[in-house]
Structure 1
Amino acid sequence: MLELANVDGFYGRSRALQSVSLTVGAGDFFSVLGRNGVGKTTLLRTVLGLMSRTTGSIRLDGEELVDQPTHKRALAGVGYVPQGRGILPSFTVRENLMVGTFAAKGGGGRIAEWVLELFPILKEFLGRRGGNLSGGQQQQLAIARALLSEPKIMLLDEPTEGIQPNIVEQIENVLIDLNRKHGLTIVLVEQNIAFARRASQRFAILNRGSVAVSGPIGQLSDEMIHQHLVV
């Protein structure tokens, strides 16, 4: 599905991602873990083409993306839920969702009912401005918007950060269902180790812009957590 080979990502002249090689299989739930500032968000931005410069190889279903602009990567099937949600506060919920449809194969224009069924509050608030939603509702909107692009793979950057606990549980369960029941491939940047262990099949821990360790989630030991994740 997604293959990174010797990928470097640069902010200006600074190399923030260093020789990263990872493989995410079709239907995987893959968690990217690590302390703050080690390159987790940078990894997602590199896959999306949002860095100053990228070297190496990034392939999605065999298609090389490393020289493609961000909008071409979205059209190729990369969905993204950024840290901070990235919703358009002056747009209504409906308008935010419509933005997501423009990267779909059919060219957009239709909000799929099944996506609204995942987050019923959005259906109730279709006419409300995005900036007037709570943080948890904005996160649900960001996920729904990404789903409407009909992605092959969805990248999520700490989707449960700063959200009330009852909505955290709902978002976690939706993501697991999207993976298990709908076969959506997910790459998750997350600080919540318990959720990563519950949801993931595979993981990678980053340290200083490089992969420190990776493998099946069953190999994520308490020793690894203490060494690489505990502050």
Structure 2
Amino acid sequence: MLALSHVDSFYDRSHILHDVSLDVPDGQVTAVLGRNGTGKTTLLKTLMGLTDRMDGQIRLGDQEIGREPTFRRARAGIAYVPQGREIIPDFTIRENILMGSFARADGKREIPPLVAELFPYLMNNLDRNGGVLSGGQQQQLAIARALAANPRIILLDEPNEGIQPSIVEEIEQVIIRLNREIGLTVILVEQNVSFARNAAHRFAMMEKGRIVAAGEISELTDAMVHRHMAV
């Protein structure tokens, strides 16, 4: 479904991604792994058109999107849940979710029934401000906002970071369910190798802005993890 070919990406004069090529199969979870500072977040931002400059190609199906603005990529079906969630604290839960619907290609402005099914707490508290929610609840809200865009692909940047342990497993199960039951294609940036092995079909290991290994998740060995992720 999604393919990067010889992609270089920049912030001003800083060259972050180097000759990145990656295929993301339709209907699968692809885990992007690596130490902090290796370019994982920049990879997701490059897919969304949020870096200063990009060379190379990004294709979504038959469409070349590497030169499209961010809003067109969103309307083409890519939703992004950023690291830190970036919800608007003074907006209500309802308003935060509905923000995602502005990326819908069909123009509908609604909270999807799936959000009510996955996150009943949010639906029971739609008039609460997002800023008063816990970290785990804000992550639920960020995922709900992404789902309101009716995406084909969802990009998740370390979705369990800074979340209380009691909600981590719940978030993980939601991500697996979105893929296995709903059929969403997922690109998951993750430090938790055990979760990646449980959730993902494929992996890509990053080091210094390059993909140094990729393949089926069964090919992700402990030796590879130690070499590229151990501190």
Identity %: 57
1:88-138 deviation line (CA, Å, top 9, x unaligned): 111000000110111112213111122121011101110000001111000
Distance 2:167 2:108 in 1: 28
**Residue in 2 aligned with 1:33?**
33
CA contact (8 A) 2:112 2:147 kept: no
**Residue in 1 aligned with 2:167?**
167
State the aligned residue count.
231
CA contact (8 A) 2:92 2:129 kept: yes
CA contact (8 A) 2:76 2:105 kept: no
Deviation at 1:32, TM superposition (A): 0.1
CA contact (8 A) 1:116 1:144 kept: no
Moved more, 103-112 or 204-213: 103-112
Correspondence list, 1:43-62, <5 A: 43-62=43-62
Partner amino acid, structure 1, of 2:20: V
**Residue in 2 aligned with 1:139?**
139
1:162-215 deviation line (CA, Å, top 9, x unaligned): 101121101100110110111100000000000000000000000000001000
Stretches of structure 2 that go unaligned for 5 or more consecutive residues are none
Correspondence list, 1:8-19, <5 A: 8-19=8-19
**Residue in 2 aligned with 1:120?**
120
Partner amino acid, structure 2, of 1:58: I
**Residue in 2 aligned with 1:187?**
187
Distance 1:151 1:6 in 2: 25
Partner amino acid, structure 1, of 2:225: I
Distance 2:108 2:190 in 1: 30
SS in 1 for 2:87: coil
**Residue in 1 aligned with 2:157?**
157
**Residue in 1 aligned with 2:74?**
74
Moved more, 85-94 or 100-109: 100-109
Give me the CA root mean square deviation: 0.7
Stretches of structure 1 that go unaligned for 5 or more consecutive residues are none
**1:90 and 2:90 equivalent?**
yes
Q: TM-score, normalised by structure 1?
A: 0.99
SS in 2 for 1:195: helix
CA contact (8 A) 1:31 1:204 kept: yes
SS in 1 for 2:215: strand
SS in 1 for 2:160: coil
1:139-161 deviation line (CA, Å, top 9, x unaligned): 00000100110111000000000
Distance 2:121 2:105 in 1: 26
Distance 2:76 2:114 in 1: 22
CA contact (8 A) 2:75 2:105 kept: yes
Partner amino acid, structure 2, of 1:124: N
Distance 1:85 1:117 in 2: 21
CA contact (8 A) 2:203 2:216 kept: yes
Distance 2:166 2:127 in 1: 24
Distance 1:20 1:31 in 2: 15
Partner amino acid, structure 2, of 1:175: I
Deviation at 1:230, TM superposition (A): 0.9
1:16-62 deviation line (CA, Å, top 9, x unaligned): 00000000010010000000000000000000000000010001112
Distance 1:108 1:166 in 2: 34
CA contact (8 A) 1:32 1:189 kept: yes
**1:4 and 2:7 equivalent?**
no
**1:110 and 2:118 equivalent?**
no
